Structures are given as structure tokens and as C-alpha cells.
Structure 1
Amino acid sequence: MDTDVALWRAWWPHAWRLAAAAAVGIPVWLATGVLLKRQAAETDPWFLVGDPLVALGCLTALVWRRRFPLAVGMTVAIASTASALATGAMLVALASVSTRRRPVEIGVVGLAYVTASQCAVELHPVQGAGPPSPWWVQFALSALTAGIAAAVGMAVGARRAEVRSLRDRAESAEREQTARAAQARALERNRIAREMHDVLAHRISLVAMQAGALDHRGDLPAEENRMLVRSIADGSHQALEELRDVLGVLRAGPARPEPPQPSLDRVPGLVADARASGLDVALTTSLTGEPPDVVGRTCYRIVQEGLTNAAKHAPGAHIRITLEGTEGDKLEVGVRNSAGRSGNVRSPVSGFGLLGLGERVTLVGGTLDHRPTSDGGYLLTARLPWPHRTREKRT
């Protein structure tokens, strides 16, 4: 059943055009036969046998008109000279050539059709009841018929080109939509990885540092051991809590508001947690005003990343954090640590923290810089834009 439907769909465009060619050619052939019958007692055998055979050959040739339009058009034009029944096939061939909208091809086939029409008049000289028509009337009638066929073909060609253009635009839009979806998925994966790193790296680094101290200091009193173990447990619990907050942000939908994200006001708490974990941290704040939420969140992540890297790569170092800025100008963040003790257990180096931090800073229009210092330490600085509140709302 499916095969029959496929064959029908494949042959339907040819079938109805062949039927149209026959519908045009048969009246012309019958009218010519009637006029010839009036002029002669016997009808020419060629007209009864040869003419239909030539027309059948022309109709068969139309099957290949799309693959070889110019060749089929010229062949049918020449063959239609000897066949009145092939007039319809000739008009279909001319229309098929015109769908390509190439003036030279249309002109050549149209001229061949007009010439064949004049030759056909000489082959079958029919006369009506009145005086014979002048040659220019017959020429104008042939040219008019060819013009109509060419106009129809060009209209069909323009329609096909428009449909093809719309199909290409739809496919292009679908490809762009697929690319945008893939890009969105990649951005979401990067966002998840960045949030996971920001949350877990800091807490786990502090836990690892405390566990390393507990492992290397076997002479610690029992009270200090209990404090370290309690700090490790608290740090692990806080890591889990912050991980739940991140997952809540990632799973938040339109009907579920996002949990509040850490901002600038939580930097002192972050420093306090670092001090409680054994880090030597000093915080200096010189801010005039309250920065926007996005700038505050970026500032928090910068400080968090600086503390994480210091705990991982420079245990025992002195860390100095500076926050300076003025509304309407910029917010400068600096995290500087001195050289740490050697011989301690070091956490694995991922290298993705600063990359993700650079993306965050770039998104808010700031700049990030990080480099070793001359005393063996490390410096992490960032400059973030701090627009006026009124200007931000107006924008």
C-alpha cells in the first residue's frame, strides 16, 4: 500500500501535465481534421496515423522535461511541425523551460514554437468559410500563445523559487534553533560547574587544611583535637548546606523563586569562617555606598576564590583582603597572601577556579588580574564597575 502511494506521488506531477497537454492538443487536432475533411473527400492517412504517433512521442518526451528542459523543448518544437495533436505538448514544454526563468532559453524555444506553427500551417493548409487570414495574423496568434505559455511557466518558476527560499529559511532557522539549544546547554553546564566549584572548593579546602593539621600534629592537646574535629564536621555540614542552595538555584522554576545568593554583606562572615578554620586573614573595607547585587555577588566570589587558593597553595600564610570603591566609579577587590609554609599537604590543583572567576568578572564589565608577588606570595585583584543607583534603574 505504501509503495503504491509513493509511486502515485512520484508520477502525479507528470500525469496531470500530460493530461493537460492532451486536453489542449485534442481540440486542435479535431478542428484541423474537420477543416481538412471539408476540403478533401478523403483525409490524409498521415493525419490519422502519423500525427497521433508523433504526438505520443512528444508526450513521452515530456517525462524528461525537468532533467533536460532545453533539449526536450527543442525536440518537441521540431516534432510538433508534423503534428497538430502535439500542440499541447509543445506548450507544456515551453512552460517547463520558462520555469527556469532564463531569457535566452525561453527565447530560443519560443522562436522554435512560432516557426513550427508556421510550418504546420503550410503542411496542413486548412481554410475556413471566409477568405484566408494574412500570415501576420497567424504569426501573432502563435506568438501570443507562446507568450501565455512562457508567462505561466515563469510564474510557476517564481512560485517554486519562493517555496524553496521559505524551505531554506525554515531549515536555517531550525539549524540556528538547534545551535542555540546546544549553546544554552553548554552554558548551563558551565554555570553548574562554576557554582559547584565556588561552593565546594572553598569549604573542602578548609576541611582539607584542618584534616592535614590534625594528621601532622600528633602532639596537640585533646581539647584542640576536639576543636579541629568539630571544625571539620561544621565545615562539611556547611558545604552540604551551600551545595543544597546551589541545587535549589539550578532547579528553581518560574513558580519557585531562587534562594538568595551570597553578596557583599556576607564577606565578613566568610572571613570569620576562614579565621575559625585557622587562616590568618585581615579584612580592610573602604566603601562609600552599597553596590548593586550582581557586583556584590561577584565581589563575594572573588574573595572566596582568593581564600580558597591561599588555603590550598599557601597554608600558614598571612592573607590581606581589601575592598575599596565609590558609587559611580568602581569597586576594587584585592586578595594578597604571603608565602606559605613548605612541606604541608597540598590539595589537587584544578585550574578552573580562576577561569570561571574571569567569566564572572567579564560578565559584569570588570577586569581580573592575578600574578605572583616578589616575596613569594600571590595577588588577586579585580576592578568592577559601580554605577549610580538612579542610572542603573533608568537603564
Structure 2
Amino acid sequence: MCRRARRLRNFVDMTRAGPEFRWLLPSAVADPELPGDRAGPRRTVRDWVVDICAFLAAALIGMLTADALDKTPGYSDTLLLVDQMVGAAACCAVWLRRRRPVALAVALAAVSLVAPVASGAFLVALFSLAVHRPFKPVVLAVGVGAVVSSVVQPVLRPDPTTNWLTNAVAGTVLILLAIGWGMLVRSRRQLVVALRERAARAEAEAALRADNAQRLAREAIAREMHDVLAHRLTLLSVHAGALEFRPDAPPAQVARAAGVIRDSAHEALQDLRQIIGVLRSPGEGADDRPQPTLATLDALVAESREAGMEVALDHRIPDTSGVPAATGRNAYRIAQEALTNARKHAPGAEVTVTVTGRPGEGLTIEVRNPAPPGPVPEVPGSGQGLIGLTERAALAGGRLRHGPGPDGSFTVLAWLPWPA
């Protein structure tokens, strides 16, 4: 069984290898429905070899039958000559077995009733019919007619050396063997076609899964780069804009803004180097890169305060060691992006960050800022930050809502699962 499976696998590999192996394949394999070359495509080398072998087999059986008739006592030479001519014509008709398998089988069934020499061509026609047509109803109907022909033929052309029953049984067995062999060949070809389709479908599915995995990886990388760099670059943009619109600011304030710009640029450069390092060698540095947690939220708030923001932190989880690392990292990124948006769109407003939750109930992060007290400078942005946060929360099994309030405030509220 393993040897046969290996041969079948090699056969499938050849069918998919390319045109250099195409000559080894039967023409029916190219068509899943095995139509028997109805449109008459060009025969391959293998088709020619098979057709020649079928013709020789039909001729050999016909010659053996003619020799047996010649040795039969009382058989006239004229009748033998007619049988031989009919048998030769039947053997030549075998070349039509691919184009007209049904018509050829029916015609040779009628001819073999009166010309035993055509029996070889008739068996080849039955074999071809079983290969190129389904069993029901075509092969079944022609097969029943062939069995009837094998029973009637000894009556029309009796053999004096044997009785009617022996001839009828022998003819029926030969017909069933030819049909059964053809059905076996057809089933094997259909199996090869099914295996080819399954292999092609598996390759397509594998390519689709690979593309989907690459897309998800690109989205994760883009989300991580946005979350990591947006905070730093927003500080750069805000303080650079302040220096641009307030050239007459006190030297201390200018120095403070310059220090924030310098530190933010340095931190952004370090984060960018870490991300590029992960992209270059994802298997080496991905786990060593430090990841933020819920415990580092205080440092984020302190950094925002040093940059000039007014941030009130209400941290109601005294022990953050029980928070899962992934949940803490997502909470940190959500708070980071919300603070970045508040810095861009509500400068000067006091931002309130509230963190609550417990195991089994989940972790809730709320970042709220009132309406900006003054004019809002134009800060460039893509508008993808909140979309990325929503996707991040959904991928973590949580949910996130955001939107303005009736008093002009803006709230980002996220819930993340925290298993008990």
C-alpha cells in the first residue's frame, strides 16, 4: 500500500512538474470530467503509445480468433475471408475510441454478433468506454447490451468444438473484465485529478494564510511603531510649535522646551532603533526588548508632567504584580496614546487618568480631558491612533469607547480582561 501511494504521489508530482513531463500523462488526466477527448485535442506521446498497444491487442485477439476459425472443420474460406476483412476494419476503428467511445462500442457490439474476429476490437472499445464515460447510465446500458450480444453470438455463429453455455460464459466474463478494468483506470485517473486539485487548493490556502500572517504582522508592527513613536514625536511637535509661536518666551522656558525636545528626540531614536532591530532579527531581540507594564504608568505620567502637561493620576490598583504582562502593556499603550491626543488637541487642560479593576472583573482605564482653555495649535496627525487603540483592545479580548462629551470634554474608556 505504501509503495502504491508512493507511486501515485510521484505520478501527481509529474503532473504538476511542467510541460517537460506532460508527454507521460494520459490526456484524460488533463480534464477532471474525463470527457474522452470530445473536442479532439492533439494526442500526446503517451496517448499514441497506448493507442498503438490497444490496436495491436485488438489485432492479436482477432488473429487468434481467425486462426481458431480456420482450424474449425467445415468452415468455408469465403466466410473466413469476410470475417478477417470485418475484423481488420474493426481493428482500424479502434483509433476512434477516444473521439466516439459510445458509438464505437455499440457498433462493434453489433458487428461481433456476426463476426467473431471483431471480438478483440469490441473488448478494447468496452475498455475505452469504461475509461471515458461514467458507469451510470452509459457504461451500464452498453455493458448490458454487450452481455446480451455475448449470449446471442454463439447462437448466430455456433462453435462446433464447444457448447453454447461455455461460449456464453466465456464471452460474459471477458466483457465484465474489460469493463471492470476500464472502470479501475477511470477511478485512478479521477483520484489523481482530485489529488492535484487538493494539492493546488492546499497551496492556495497556505499562500493565503501566509499573506494573512504577513498582513497581521505588518499591522502589529505599524501599531507598535505608532504607539511607541507618536508620544515622543508629539512632544517634539508641541514644544517646537511653542518655540515657533512664542519667540519672545523667557529664556528659562525656552531652555526647558529645548530640553524636552532633546530628550524626546533621543528617546524616539532609541525606540526606533529597538523596533528596527526587531525587524532585522525578530527571533533574537524581540523578547529582550523592554516592554512597558502597568507599573511604568507612573513614569509615563511623570514624563508628561515634565513636558508641561497637567495630569491627575488616580491609580486604584496598589499591587500591579498580579496584572498579566500583556494586559498591563495594552493599558500602558492606551494611556500613552490618550495622553498624546490630549496634548495635541487640548493643550493646557488638566487630564485625568483613572485605573481601576480587580482579577475576574477586568481592568478599566479612563483618560478624560476637559475642553481646551484656549486656541488649539495646528498639529499634524493621521487620525489612526484611536483606531489602533480600538483594534488593540479588541485583539486583547476587551473593548474601547471614545468620544466628546456635551461640555466639550473628550473621554477614552477601555476595558481589558483580567483573569481571576
1:73 corresponds to which of 62, 84, 105: 105
Q: Distance in 1 between matches of 2:76 and 2:401?
A: 108
Question: Which residue number corresponds to residue 181 of structure 2?
Answer: 152
Distance change in 2, residues 1:23/1:190 (3 Å): farther
1:176 corresponds to which of 205, 223, 236: 205
Q: Distance in 2 between matches of 1:246 and 1:352?
A: 19
Q: Distance in 1 between matches of 2:56 and 2:299?
A: 87
Deviation at 1:49, TM superposition (A): 4.8
Q: Please report the TM-score for the alignment, with normalisation by the length of structure 2.
A: 0.82
Deviation at 1:43, TM superposition (A): 5.0
Question: Which residue number corresponds to residue 221 of structure 1?
Answer: 250
Q: Distance in 2 between matches of 1:48 and 1:105?
A: 29
Question: Which residue number corresponds to residue 245 of structure 1?
Answer: 274
Contact 2:97 2:128 survives alignment (8 Å): no
Question: Which residue number corresponds to residue 10 of structure 2?
Answer: none
Deviation at 1:324, TM superposition (A): 1.0
Gaps of 5+ in 1: 389-395
Pick which of 89-98 and 311-320 moved more: 89-98
Gaps of 5+ in 2: 1-19, 25-43
Question: Which residue number corresponds to residue 3 of structure 2?
Answer: none
Q: Percent identity?
A: 37
Question: Which residue number corresponds to residue 111 of structure 1?
Answer: 144
Deviation at 1:3, TM superposition (A): 12
Q: Distance in 1 between matches of 2:379 and 2:191?
A: 63
Q: Distance in 1 between matches of 2:176 and 2:98?
A: 23
Q: What is the aligned length?
A: 378
Pick which of 154-163 and 40-49 moved more: 40-49
Q: Distance in 2 between matches of 1:347 and 1:77?
A: 90
Aligned pairs for 1:28-47 within 5 A: 28-35=65-72, 38-40=73-75, 42=77, 44=79, 46-47=81-82
Q: Distance in 2 between matches of 1:354 and 1:242?
A: 21
Q: Distance in 2 between matches of 1:311 and 1:86?
A: 96
Deviation at 1:197, TM superposition (A): 1.1
Distance change in 2, residues 1:113/1:52 (3 Å): same
Q: What are the superposed Cα offsets for residues 273-297 of structure 1, whole Å, 9 maximum, x if unpaired?
A: 2112111111111115330000001
Q: What are the superposed Cα offsets for residues 223-244 of structure 1, whole Å, 9 maximum, x if unpaired?
A: 3212211211211111111122
Question: Which residue number corresponds to residue 406 of structure 2?
Answer: 374
- Tell me whether 1:303 sits opposite 2:324 in the alignment: no
Distance change in 2, residues 1:4/1:161 (3 Å): closer
Deviation at 1:21, TM superposition (A): 3.2
Deviation at 1:357, TM superposition (A): 1.1
- Tell me whether 1:127 sits opposite 2:157 in the alignment: no
Please tell me the root mean square deviation across aligned C-alpha atoms, in Å. Answer: 2.5
Contact 2:370 2:410 survives alignment (8 Å): yes
Q: Distance in 1 between matches of 2:101 and 2:167?
A: 26
Distance change in 2, residues 1:270/1:25 (3 Å): farther
Q: Distance in 2 between matches of 1:378 and 1:294?
A: 26
Q: Distance in 1 between matches of 2:199 and 2:302?
A: 57
Contact 2:260 2:307 survives alignment (8 Å): yes
1:24 corresponds to which of 61, 68, 88: 61
Q: Please report the TM-score for the alignment, with normalisation by the length of structure 1.
A: 0.87
Question: Which residue number corresponds to residue 163 of structure 1?
Answer: 192
Contact 2:126 2:178 survives alignment (8 Å): yes
Question: Which residue number corresponds to residue 92 of structure 2?
Answer: 57
Deviation at 1:82, TM superposition (A): 4.4
Contact 2:292 2:329 survives alignment (8 Å): yes
Q: Distance in 2 between matches of 1:207 and 1:144?
A: 92
Q: In the alignment, residue 192 of structure 1 is paired with which amino acid?
A: I
Distance change in 2, residues 1:25/1:297 (3 Å): farther
Contact 1:54 1:83 survives alignment (8 Å): no
